[in-house]
Chain A
């Protein structure tokens, strides 16, 4: 065998290294998957304990309005999670709904109305908003929003409405920057085509740009909702943490996350009180999976190419 043939047939050092690298990256991927699966498994296991060991019925858990895990009634603890579920959804939907017009307006400013100055001013603002820790938002909410609500509506000032305003500011940058991405991914040629047909700028924005970017904007909104749903600290600081049905927007209420953060340190592992909190965590997990699924569905169905 000549030298060249031999060198081609024997695996070189670099090809061995390459194979090793491939295994290494596979290992990293594998371990992350294991962690995720473990978290899911653990939360599911603990979350189901309420229903298996503590004999709470699922319907009672989802529809009951009394939350008092330390009190037992007819053999099962009183864990009606509806107030928190309602609080979470209410605060998420209100904050997102409030943020959508602002986010789309801001995004249009940055992409279509005044791209140069709009981006120069708003980009740093958005990045700053993202970078502020949630405890700071909560603190500002506590010292500014809650007293303001108290002055306007009376009562304590704590409640869904205060949480809505705090969350509104927190989800705004998420929705805005993703909407900007969606708008910039609409080809310039669509805009030129529309303008060349005599459509005005507004008609172009409304009928062509926003229409084409709709799936992207929906994805942005769902991302914002997921963020709002999962936000714990800032909400907990202003929502009032009363496990009551949120019949009023300005009365103290609670969300899944706020009950979890306030409660988890005060319960003992394995007790019914603790199990009940894990069940709330399970609901959070299922919701975030639902949001993820929604994002994928929107992205797949709404892609421009058909």
Chain B
């Protein structure tokens, strides 16, 4: 363990970077929820954000695709394809097509399973029936839901179980073929079996997508992620490979958190 307060891994040029924050600060009114986070999100990897409740990891995640607009004030830069997403010129709607998000509680629309997926596609101008069908099937297959719902695509999505509904939400997000998928504690409302299915889905998805996942479940972070960032009181105290973070943490705070000595 080093004597410093923080350890943030920087990638060399061999690893492609999907997203990078520079001096990202997030305020709720006066309260500083995130202070100066510098984080590189590697492409085609799963990056887990862990930390105690209130450490700011969800706030950080939601800022990455500007879902905090109007809720919190976000300062600093979020670099994506040489563009600063946190600037005025960015069309947030077009940007969110590239950076999708799945929430803590499954939130399918009160529409049919099919319409849940085509909703966003149609909004973005895809109206060809054949292409829609294709996209729906591909997305459902990628989300490992196809076999369970292929015969009831026109049934209400509200009839799905929690785990199925969450996989539908993932399918809905990846049907847009985004670059990056942000997941905010996607398994916290699911039972262990559904969680296992979801984790398997995510591991398969990482071949094509960059995934950032907030989780309270440390074993889950250890199981599925390649890199782990530990948030504590609004600061990224450690960011490193998942194995390193969990087995040889460089920062005392992280050691306490991952070994359960916390609080």
Q: Which residues of A contact B (CB under 8 A)?
A: 187, 189-190, 192-200, 203, 207-208, 211-212, 304-306
Contact = CB atoms under 8 A, between A and B. Distances in A.
Interface string B235-248: 00000000000000
7 contacts: A187-B107, A193-B169, A198-B94, A198-B95, A200-B123, A207-B123, A306-B159
B105 interface: yes
Contacts of B156: 306
Contacts of A193: 103, 107-109, 169, 172
Contacts of B93: 198-200
Contacts of A195: 67, 96
Contacts of B123: 197-200, 203, 207
B97 interface: yes
B172 A197 contact: yes
A199 B158 contact: no
B168 to A, nearest CB: 11
Contacts of A189: 103, 105, 107
Contacts of B95: 198
Interface residues on chain B, size class: 20 to 34
B109 A196 contact: no
Main secondary structure of the interface of A (DSSP, over half): helix
A304 B108 CA distance: 12
A196 B97 contact: no
Given A195-B67, A200-B93, 8 more contacts: A189-B105, A192-B67, A194-B119, A196-B173, A197-B96, A197-B120, A203-B123, A306-B156
A199 B124 CA distance: 8
Contacts of B103: 189, 192-193, 196
A199 B97 CA distance: 8
Interface in B46-66: 65
